[in-house]
Amino acid sequence: MTTAVWILAALIGFTALAYINASGRVWGAGILLMLAASWALTALPLALNALLTVIFIVLAIPLAIPSLRRKLISDGVLGVYRKLMPPMSQTESDALEAGTVWWDGELFTGRPAWSRLLATPEPALTAEEQRFLDEETEQLCAMTSDWETTNVYKDLPPEVWQFVRDKGFLGMIIPKEYGGLGFSAWAHSQVITKLSTRSGTAAVTVMVPNSLGPGELLLHYGTDEQRRRYLPRLAKGLEIPCFALTNPQAGSDAASIPDYAIVAWGEHEGRRVLGLSVTWDKRYITLGPVATLLGLAFRVHDPDHLLGETEDLGITCALIPTTHAGVIIGRRHMPLNAVFQNGPNSGRDVFIPMDWVIGGAPMIGRGWRMLMESLAAGRGISLPSSNTGMSILAVRAVGGYARVRTQFRTAIGRFEGVEEALARMGGNLYMMDATRRLTVAAVDLGEKPAVASAIAKYHITERARQTINDGMDVIGGKGICMGPSNFLGGAYMQHPVAITVEGANILTRSLIIFGQGAIRCHPFVLREIEATRQTDRNAASIAFDDALFGHLRFTLSNLARTLVTGLTGSHFVRVRAAVAPETRRYYQQLTRFSAALALLADVSMGTLGGALKRKESLSARLGDILSLLYLCSAALKRFEAEGRQAADAPLLHWAIWDAMFKAQSAFEGVISNFPNRLLAFLLRRMVFPLGRPYTVPSDALGAQVAQLLIAPSATRDRLTAGMFIGRDDDDPVGLIERALVATVAIEPVEAKLKAATREGRLDGQLPPGTGVDALAQRAVAAGVIEPDEAQALIIQRDLAARVIRVDDFDRDLGASLLKPAIDALHTPTKPARRRAVA
């Protein structure tokens, strides 16, 4: 009996030490205490007690003396680690080290500090930024429409281009000292979000110069002379920038671009100067066809060693005026019927002076690091904002349409099948916008959240795709007939562009999120890697020893935390933050999943090593878990920041249940496909010892979310904040808004008519050819409704008819008007124009 009690006490005690990630000294004291208890109580046979004591002394002494521990253990492991580590190129190193670790790092700890998340300041606009959003941005929205830009101008109208230049839209991120607006990342995001509820072309045209491009690169890496020369002109729209990275042979694998430059002497402005002879072939370059300033990425070679002993100097970025001799601006691409300016450009043996390199000669070979650091921030703003904007449009307009449109004498928004789609739309948008806010807040705090921005880009664009698809399903024929009254067809056609750019989503999910996250976010892996790269043997030994034993304690702790929180359903997890009572369980479950993710990541990296990089499906699922924890964190942060709005709770609950169920499925996907089946068996028992706790969101919860979308309310306004609603009489979204208000108002009238018809006081059958006017007059005459109610009924029927109307055109769809252009396509094309010095 004593032995059993001692063993049980030892298991509980050691599990507790692991759970709290006790230090080595505390572990030693705990083991010593248990041995003393065993001797005192004779809990174990004398020989076994003696053996355990000897083993403890033999292990404790070297472990307690750092220099001895390093010599006996760590240095040997370091040697093996160095042999197993695959060689890392400079571009791989730059990609891994670019940006900063933020809340994504907390999610890898197994015990996220929720108080830190909730203490993150909410982004806010200054008075100047708010005015710009309310006035200039509102005006720009009113000046554009996707139908007009796509089918009339094939571009933004000239007056819109001029407005964009004059009002500083192209210089939002440029500081005021250079003539820009000097806006925050939040203001930048809000402007792009609002524009995206109206016109994808306008949003992209404004978005690109304020994202990864010449302006951003000059701000952080340009020389003083380059900033003074270009930033004021960029801010005022006197220069239109683009940035050319993608080569036909290097898309997602952008680091392998074959575009090159040779260090050489050449003539520039009548002087012999040292520079670069550049050859490139680029495509998919947004704003390229109209750009006046070309940002260009290429690899520099120095075969004559004019700059030093190294021949391959690496990827470099330069600025080249498009009027420069040898620059070839190609024709336009047409990306899925979107008409933002986009096209190829090229050049062969184009000589540029060295001072055209961004940052000058010292920045040669630093281009990839520059791009990765800029992308770490920019990727978290542009596409998340534009896709959130498109989803806001879809949710508000489709929700209103679902209340106005009736079938079988019932609003289609009340059918369960439609409710299911609306629930996904509402829940996804709530989480998308929360993720956008949290990520942009990090950028405004000075972070460059590389992993978080990849998460935001991938998951917001994917959820936007689901939201738009659901919206198209709900509106049916209204969505597939193009024309001025179609409010969603353009977004449906053009949305795959967002899936493709700034890292194709398939590769972002399978290679980047966990591939980069496991190293950057893990508290010890990057430290271990850095130790292997140190040339000072003693410093490397000390650094690796510290990281190695910290890593071992970290893994042991998360093993214990995963098992304990799984067995207890995480009910006893302490949430060290003041949170809404109805959300406390979510924080506890997220803490449990954080520990399980950290454990699974360590087991995967420890057993698969470099092979994990090739196990892309496993890596993708591990990335899904990290991503979903981040998205849930954002949703909970939003709920707290908005004052725990009870009316919004269904949106939060649906979003969390959906995400946690998907995270749970990702865990199952990793374990079920884990190559080592014994480990897979053990991991399943540790992660889900009592079964899987989450199910899909309930139908009842989904119905609550759907009803929030089909009726005017403060919740609907919060969910779709930033939406542009046109005031023109025939604006399709404005029309839906007016029809929705009218529909809700006349529903009591409809109820009176139905009751009177059922009771025989009103003949609801109308002769063929008669309309609602006749019914209204008959109902007034019968005393069923009042005259003002009859008028409201007539107005609502007219608005509803206009809402569901689709556009029609001449039989040739205007082909006769386009015949000259079509004929021109079949004539031999002239070579792309080569720009010469003016």
Known catalytic membership, residue 759 = no
- Around Cβ 214, how many Cβ atoms within 10 Å? 27
* Interatomic CA distance for residues 38 and 370, integer angstroms: 61
Tokens of 111: 């015990």
Task: State the Cα–Cα distance between residues 235 and 181, nearest whole angstrom.
Answer: 8
For residue 524, report the phi and psi dihedrals to the nearest 5 degrees. -130, -25
User: Which entry of 420, 502, 528, 737 is annotated as an active-site residue?
Assistant: 502
Amino acid type, 182: G
Q: What type of residue sits at position 542?
A: I
Phi, psi for 410 (deg, rounded to 5):
-135, 140
Instruction: Please state, in angstroms and rounded to a whole number, the distance separating the CA atoms of residues 25 and 61.
Output: 11
Burial per residue of 71-81, b for 16 or more beta-carbon CB atoms within 10 angstroms, e otherwise: eeebeeebeeb
Q: Which residues in 227-341 belong to E strands, given as ranges?
A: 241-244, 260-268, 271-286, 293-301, 312-321, 327-329
Residue holding tokens 């306008």?
Answer: 202
**Residues 107, 115: Cα–Cα separation, whole Å:** 13
Distance CA 528, CA 605 (A): 13
Residue 326 in contact with residue 348, Cβ under 8 Å? yes
Phi-psi region of 277 (alpha: psi -120 to 50; beta: other; left: phi over 0): beta
Quick one: which of 673, 666, 525, 670 has its CA closest to 609? 525
Q: How far apart are CA 521 and CA 593, in angstroms?
A: 16
Which letter does DSSP use for residue 838 in this model?
Answer: -
**Distance, CA of 360 to CA of 382 (rounded, Å):** 28
Q: Give the burial class of 158: count Cβ atoms within 10 A of its Cβ; 0-12 exposed, 13-18 middle, 19 or more buried.
A: exposed
Sign of CA dihedral 137, 344, 461, 452: negative
- Both tokens of 633, joined, read 């964190």
Q: Distance (Å, rounded) from C-alpha 540 to C-alpha 230?
A: 44
Do the bridges between strand 312-321 and strand 293-301 make them parallel or antiparallel, or are there none, so unpaired? antiparallel
In the numeric block, which tokens belong to residue 487? Answer: 């409010």
Structure tokens that stand for 140 in this block: 């720009």
Burial call 723-756: b when 16+ CB within 10 Å, e when fewer? bbbbeeeebbbbbbbbbbbbbeebeebeebbeeb
Q: E-strand spans in 362-424? A: 406-407, 410-411
Tokens of 477: 């024929």
Contacts of 562 (CB under 8 A, 6+ apart): 110, 592, 595, 596, 599, 686, 687
Burial 794-832 (b: 16+ CB within 10 A, else e): bbbbebbebbbeeeeeeeeeeeeeeeeeeeeeeeeeeee
Q: Is 216 exposed, middle or buried (0-12, 13-18, 19+ CB in 10 A)?
A: buried
Question: DSSP H helical segments within 98-245, as ranges?
Answer: 103-106, 114-119, 127-132, 138-143, 146-148, 158-166, 185-196, 200-207, 214-221, 224-235
H/E stretch holding 3: helix 2-19
Residue 264, SS3 per DSSP: strand
Catalytic residues: 502
